[in-house]
């Protein structure tokens, strides 16, 4: 079987991204399931490799289509992002934000052209991206723009292991104010989130997905006592999904929904309904999968950890888990 080619965008070069990308790229377990291809600045990678006591051979190319893999070496699509002395590990700076998104876009473009099969991104630093003057409110909308998809059609699904069970939580709204999130929870958007979740699960190898959908209000509105969005918006969206062949159920109270068994994914209405569960249960092991776009894309759910960058203290476990999850879509 031909193993999938997975591009690894190295993230913020001032953070732990290059370190965990390097560690993942030489991991024997990773090599059993895919062919990893780093995307980023060679000088930044070499600086992190030296700081971490790593000495892999780097086989650099200009285009993903030209990549060649040999075990023990690191395949790299080289992006010339810094001149000597311009990178400041551990610091917040506009060039670092520009570099992180340049690596991500290059990897996404390679996936769109068929040069790689999927993309995993190491963590970025949003303050550095803001300093660079780049519009960015998370990877789902960024991937959508790169792919020519309306940003509102992209959603985030957090995936993590919880006591041996794979948890997947998709969000109908994400990095917006709560006031705006309430306006965004429409029948069409909730339906699109449910259908995108179903499509992503099938793409990940689940042939008959079951999806639980949360309400918006406490206790899913308690029959209208605490709000009517469940009856007026979310319930009808679920019914629309069922008519389209999606096995979706709800709306359920977001405070108890995750205790329900037998579901392959949960769809929530707001950021915190899903992220509180993920970040208390998964710790550093979660991956954030972008759904609703033609690119199979995941990023890690943890940050760039500027305080430990360049100190050989970063654990690549979440990045390896994200790679394993995407590689599994091509198994069998």
Q: Would you say 318 and 300 are in contact if contact means Cβ atoms under 8 Å apart?
A: yes
Distances (CA, A) of 228 to 209, 232, 251: 28, 6, 12
Cα 16 to Cα 312: distance, rounded to the nearest angstrom: 9
Closest to 171 measured CA to CA, from 187, 157, 182: 157
What does the pLDDT average to over 313-317? 94
**Tens digit of each residue's pLDDT (9 = 90 or more) over 62-90:** 999 999 998 779 999 999 999 888 999 99
Q: Give the contacts of 301 (CB within 8 A, at least 6 positions apart).
A: 158, 160, 278, 279, 282, 284, 286, 287, 288, 318
**Residue 269: DSSP 8-state:** S
Q: Model confidence at 1, in pLDDT bands (50, 70, 90)?
A: low
- For residue 137, the model assigns a pLDDT of 87
124 neighbors 92 (Cβ within 8 angstroms): no
Smallest CA-to-CA distance from 140 within 275, 290, 289, 269 is with 290
Percentage of the chain with pLDDT > 70? 98
Q: Return the C-alpha torsion angle 255, 259, 265, 266, nearest 10.
A: -10
Host H or E run for residue 188: helix 187-203
Pairing of strands 247-252, 210-214: parallel
Give the Cα separation of 208 and 237 in Å (integer): 19
pTM exceeding the 0.75 threshold for the entire prediction: yes
Residue 215 pLDDT exceeds 60: yes
Average pLDDT rounded to a whole number, residues 98-105: 98
The model's confidence at residue 331, banded by pLDDT at 50, 70 and 90, is confident
Instruction: Reply yes or no on whether the pLDDT at 109 is more than 90.
Output: yes
Question: Each residue of 248-269: pLDDT tens digit?
Answer: 999 999 999 999 999 999 999 9
Contacts of 248 (CB under 8 A, 6+ apart): 194, 198, 211, 212, 213, 238, 241, 242, 267
First to last CA, the chain: 9
At 332 the pLDDT is 58
Instruction: Write down the pLDDT at residue 164.
Output: 78
Measure the CA–CA gap between 159 and 76, rounded to whole angstroms. Answer: 27
Pick 215 or 176 by higher pLDDT.
215
């Amino acid at each position: 079987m031909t193993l999938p080619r997975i591009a690894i965008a190295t993230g913020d070069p001032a953070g732990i991204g290059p370190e965990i990308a390097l560690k993942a790229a030489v991991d024997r377990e990773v090599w059993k399931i895919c062919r990893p291809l780093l995307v980023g600045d060679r000088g930044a990678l070499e600086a992190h490799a030296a700081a971490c006591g790593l000495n892999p051979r780097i086989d650099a190319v200009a285009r993903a289509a030209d990549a060649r893999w040999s075990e023990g070496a690191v395949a790299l699509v080289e992006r010339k992002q810094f001149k000597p002395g311009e990178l400041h590990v551990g610091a917040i700076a506009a060039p670092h934000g520009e570099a992180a998104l340049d690596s991500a876009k290059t990897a996404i473009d390679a996936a769109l052209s068929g040069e790689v099969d999927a993309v995993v991104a190491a963590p970025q630093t949003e303050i550095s991206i803001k300093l660079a003057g780049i519009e960015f409110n998370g990877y789902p909308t960024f991937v959508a723009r790169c792919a020519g998809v309306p940003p509102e059609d992209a959603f985030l699904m957090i995936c993590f292991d919880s006591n041996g069970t794979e948890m997947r939580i998709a969000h109908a709204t994400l990095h917006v104010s709560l006031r705006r999130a309430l306006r965004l929870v429409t029948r069409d958007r909730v339906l699109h989130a449910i259908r995108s979740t179903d499509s992503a699960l099938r793409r990940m190898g689940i042939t008959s997905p079951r999806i639980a959908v949360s309400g918006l209000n406490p206790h899913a509105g308690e029959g209208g006592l605490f709000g009517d969005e469940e009856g007026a918006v979310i319930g009808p969206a679920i019914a629309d999904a069922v008519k389209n062949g999606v096995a979706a159920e709800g709306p359920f109270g977001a405070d108890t929904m995750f205790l329900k068994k037998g579901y392959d994914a949960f769809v929530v209405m707001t950021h915190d309904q899903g992220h509180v569960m993920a970040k208390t249960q998964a710790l550093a092991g979660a991956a954030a999968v972008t759904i609703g776009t033609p690119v199979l894309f995941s990023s890690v759910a943890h940050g760039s950890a500027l305080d430990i960058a360049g100190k050989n203290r970063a654990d690549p476990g979440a990045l390896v888990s994200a790679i394993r999850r995407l590689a599994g879509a091509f198994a069998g």
